[in-house]
Structure 1
Amino acid sequence: MIDFWLAAGLLLLVALSFLLIPVLRSRRAQLEEDRTALNVALYQERVAELQTQQEEGVLDAAQMDAGRAEAARELLADTEGVAAPRVSRLGKPAPLLAAILVPVLGLGLYLHFGASDKVELTREFAQAPQSMEEMTRRLERAVAAQPDSAEALYFLGRTYMTQDRPADAAKVFERTVNLAGRQPELLGQWAQAQYFADGKQWSDKTQALTDEALKADPKEVTSLGLLGIAAFEGQRYQEAIDYWNRLLEQLPPEDQSRIALQGGIARATEKLLASGGKVAPAPVAKAGALLKVQVDLAADLKAKVQPGDSVFIFARATSGPPAPLAAKRLTVADLPATVELGDADAMMPQLKLSNFPEVQLVARISRAGKPTAGEWIGRSQPLASSTTAPQTLTIDSPDK
């Protein structure tokens, strides 16, 4: 901040110069005016002496006129080059008062409306913190400087959780939800902090938060993990296994937390078996639809297309919305080609192949790269979306 205050000080000196220079000039003008007044007083005194000498008969009229002329010449010589006096409308105290008030008011306005604290925070965050405590202090200052920043509040809450301060984290996550909305992830973080703040005692509030989070997103990982922990602590081992299995499905294969989660499932299984219970088999996930199709170009069309023409391959419901359920894009140069269309290729989550019993396969060539209109097309007969046998699709007709 030193360079900032140096720059501010230089600007302040420039501003004060516009106020103080006229004051100094006015003092010099005042000195000149005082000297002129003294010269005039001396001239008047000289003229009075000459008149007294004339009355006493010492000087005659000619000598009187000569003396008066000599005094006038001396007065003109002394006042030559002196500017006409200027009248100040502001007065002398006003500029000096302004010179004092300008820096005081400027500093006060900057401290009230300025952002020196945010500038300092930006510089601090540009450097890596030396400890977790330092990071916490920075985040707390960031929240104080920007109380409406949901992002700063979120990271502060996560930091409090790593420092085993769940009560503080719960308050921060509640503020975050109020600012950013009731997003499933935020609700899950709030519920987790609240659970540990309550001494690992499950409450109606925690239940409501996890229910709301999973209703909005059944795959919300924090809520799933928390419910598994609560079930394990409550000796409801089968529930813990079920929740942790659901969580395990959401984690990528390389996620390091999978090892700890699998260990938790193993411990819950052991305790369940030790208590005389039986582990219920995990529900078999319904396999999504997957169609395998080989696409080729009719022989008489090969001379009419260009290698860079786009080829759109998609499946659409025979009875349902006209929008494609799954699609892939190739070029004519890629043909013949074999592609797979499945639920993973869904254009919209609610429109999956497995949601419709019967579909039609379509392949379209579009020189302009538009999937809805082109030059040539090929269509299959309606087939079940659960079909597993490879299909063949030939582009052989004009697209009308």
Structure 2
Amino acid sequence: MTMLWLSIGTLLLIALWFLSLPLRRARAIHDWQQRFEADDHAEAQNLAVYERRLSALKSARDRGEIDVARFEEGRHELDRNLLEDTEAHRRMPLRRPLSGRLMIPLVITAVMAASMIGYRWLGADGDLALHAAQQDVLNTPGASMKTLVGRLEEEAGTQPDNPKVWSLLFPLYQKIGQPGQAIDALERLIELEGRRVDLLAQLAQIKFFVAGRSLTDEVHALIDEILDKDPREPTALGILGVEAFDDGRYEQAINYWRRALAGFEDSASAEAIRKGIAVAEQRLEQSANEAGLVVD
């Protein structure tokens, strides 16, 4: 966390250095502009050209090459051109080099305020605090998983709208044997993240096992919602397979588990499903054999 603020401070200092650059260069630019304007003889050159053309016009009149009307027309044209050239080259008086110096601290203050406010609203300040809490526990000798849960609960109290807090808490509650708290944390996460299929599937799974592997009305409603959104969701299909297996409906359990097998990405879950299918097939074969013996 300290390194982050040091990095932010360093970047701000660099930004402030660039922002103050125009002010620090203002004197040199002002002096250069003054020298340029002092050495600029464009107006004198325009006036000299005007005088030469007017003189040529007068000579043409005196020699009788043009009449008075054409002379006056030509002179008015020269006057208009000179006036336009003079207006085009007219310059505003130079301001003092430090005339805008008050804008620099105002801009610097605005940049710093916008950076801090923007980071508070759009940055990951809460996530950094959460990470710092985790690292503090992990670096504490003898710290247990319950210690980590306690620290995360403190973060949940200070930033209850951060979904990452609850996504960390609910699996930890499961690991320390607190399924009720796991359900509460997961339901809070669903409130924040929306009714995502993966979250609903985990909620259905926890409630299913809390109910003693029973397909209660609440669990059944969750599974219906999940499969309506994703008919191939593996966790929901796995739950239905477990319920069918416990009820002795082995063929149905095998069907659910085979459909679920295609959706599991981790090898451990897939291997557990394969073992369940193998056991269900053995039970199904055993049931068939026993039925054959009874008929005989």
The TM-score, its normalising length taken from structure 1, stands at 0.37
Structure with a larger share of its residues in strand: 1
The TM-score, its normalising length taken from structure 2, stands at 0.49
Q: Which structure is larger by alpha-carbon Rg, 1 or 2?
A: 1
